[in-house]
Structure 1
Amino acid sequence: MPEALSEQSTGGEQEQRFRTVAVRVEDTVHAQLSFIADLAGTSLSEEVRRAIEGRIASAQEDPALIERAQQAREQIEREAAARAAAIAGFMGKPIVAQVTPAKPGSTGRRATKPSSKQGS
Structure 2
Amino acid sequence: MKRILLLVIILFGVNFASAQATATIVDDAPYNYEDVEVRPEFPGGYNELMNFIGKNFKMPEYEGNGGVLKVAFVIEVDGSVTNVKVVKDLGEGTGAEAKRVISASPRWSSGEFRGKKVRVLYELPIKIASQG
TM-score range, shorter chain: under 0.3
**Structure ID, larger Rg:** 1
TM-score for the superposition, normalised by structure 1: 0.25
TM-score for the superposition, normalised by structure 2: 0.23
* More relative contact order, 1 or 2 (CA 8 Å, 6+ apart): 2
